[in-house]
A and B are shown apart, each in its own frame.
Chain A
Amino acid sequence: MPAKQAKGEYIETDTGNKVSRKSIIVGSQNIILGGKTIIQAECTVRGDLRRTIPSSSSSSSNSANVAIAIGRYCFLSRSSILRPPCKILKGQFSYYPMKIGDHVFVGEGSVVEAAAVGNRVTIGKNCVIGKFSIIKDCVRIEDGTVIAPNTVIPTFSLVRGRPGLVVEELAETAPEKLDLKQLYRMI
């Protein structure tokens, strides 16, 4: 097995993450991958854009340094970008951590600058998720959607357009369709 891994496109970690050798991971010490997450080629994850001012909540110094936390069974397609959002709060500029839940799919060429993405969220191709937007659980974002900064998308929504608006509600059976375990096994 080890020999096969060395040849393959993906590097597999102990927790089952498959990270492409051609992906661009900057500041990996500030990134947490929950396990079984796939990161495809040319995908950019900016862990170096970490919080520059200390967190107001008295959490441990370790968690304060996390820039991007990704859950389990996530899929980051080719040339997608994950970068933490930034703003000025009380006169101080800082980047803020980004949290991504489980079973999150990010399509090709999409740029995600959300503050939080819930579980079972599918983001299509060439989408832009604005700074500090919050996407709740079970959301489908269609290809080419641009979500404005600071938007909050409720659960079970289908989002489309520029700016991205909720156009439909998803059926109650949607969570099963948004499961990415199968996708993980395919790679």
Chain B
Amino acid sequence: MPPRTRPSASTEPVSKSPVDLHPACVIDGTAQLTGTYLIRVGANTIIHPKARLNSSNGPITIGESCIISERCMLQAADTNGLVVGDAVSIECNAVVEGREVKEGTDVEVGNCKLCPMTEVAEQEVVPDYTVMYGYSERRIDASGSEGARRKFLDKHIEALKALIVSNPAKFKA
């Protein structure tokens, strides 16, 4: 039997989306950028393997110093597009279909923090500094720890740059 192509090679995006990748971003070759609208990625942003960005319904803009983890799904809901601000970290298995994720947000499995498995309803606006936890309960974080968080994120990005092999050429049309 002839050797079969590896699944990663055979699952080429159905429709490659137009991309605008900043030269200083790190994007793994196995990330999936699909759709018809523009996907823009800022400097120092890390996109893990198998992260999925779908711009079929609208453009996606990702700011600087973001971390987009594996198996998360970013999809623009309509033609207004999806804007992810600077220093946002989106963890594994997260699904983001909103319009705007502001600066300094953590989405774990949204200055907001969405803990694992919490859900934000459609059309909902989550105010700044909200923490969502448990069964989608929420509170306002007044600890003022953005500085420490940003430091951590910068160091995290620094380390990931050394670990993840960037392959932006694969996404250029």
Q: Residues on A close to B: CB < 8 A?
A: 3, 6-7, 21-22, 24, 26, 44, 46, 48-50, 52, 79, 81, 83, 86, 88, 92-95, 109, 111, 126, 128, 130, 144, 146, 162-163
List residues of B (149-173) whose CB comes within 8 Å of A's CBs: 152, 155-156, 158-159, 162-164
Given A24-B30, A26-B49, A162-B134, does the pair A109, B93 have CB atoms closer than 8 Å? yes
Assess whether B164 is in contact with A111, with CB atoms less than 8 Å apart: no
Chain B hits for A162, CB < 8 A: 115-117, 133-135
12 contacts between A and B (CB under 8 A): A7-B1, A24-B49, A24-B50, A44-B50, A44-B71, A48-B163, A52-B162, A81-B70, A81-B92, A93-B155, A95-B163, A111-B91
Closest CB-CB distance, B83 to chain A, in whole Å? 26
Assess whether A128 is in contact with B109, with CB atoms less than 8 Å apart: yes
Bound-state CA distance A3–B133 (Å) is: 50
Assess whether A86 is in contact with B71, with CB atoms less than 8 Å apart: no
Residue of A nearest to B3 (CB): A6
Bound-state CA distance A86–B67 (Å) is: 14
Residue of A nearest to B8 (CB): A24
* B147 at the A interface (CB under 8 A): no
Closest CB-CB distance, B7 to chain A, in whole Å? 5
Tell me which of A3, A24, A50 has the highest count of chain B C-beta atoms within 10 A of its own C-beta.
Answer: A24
Residue of A nearest to B164 (CB): A48
Q: Residues on B close to A: CB < 8 A?
A: 1, 4, 7-8, 30, 49-50, 70-71, 91-93, 108-109, 115-117, 133-135, 152, 155-156, 158-159, 162-164
Chain A hits for B30, CB < 8 A: 24
Closest CB-CB distance, A139 to chain B, in whole Å? 19
Tell me which of A48, A50, A93, A130 has the highest count of chain B C-beta atoms within 10 A of its own C-beta.
Answer: A93
Chain A hits for B109, CB < 8 A: 111, 128
Given A48-B164, A81-B93, does the pair A94, B71 have CB atoms closer than 8 Å? no
Chain A hits for B116, CB < 8 A: 111, 128, 130, 146, 162
Assess whether B1 is in contact with A126, with CB atoms less than 8 Å apart: no
Chain B hits for A109, CB < 8 A: 93
Q: Select one of A3, A49, A163 contacting B1, CB under 8 A.
A: A3
Closest CB-CB distance, A142 to chain B, in whole Å? 13
Assess whether B117 is in contact with A88, with CB atoms less than 8 Å apart: no
Chain B hits for A3, CB < 8 A: 1
Q: A24-B49, A81-B93 are in contact. List 11 more A-B contacts (CB 8 A).
A: A48-B163, A49-B163, A83-B70, A88-B152, A88-B155, A93-B156, A93-B159, A94-B159, A111-B116, A146-B115, A146-B117
Chain B hits for A128, CB < 8 A: 108-109, 116-117
Residue of B nearest to A109 (CB): B93
Closest CB-CB distance, B84 to chain A, in whole Å? 20
Bound-state CA distance A146–B134 (Å) is: 8
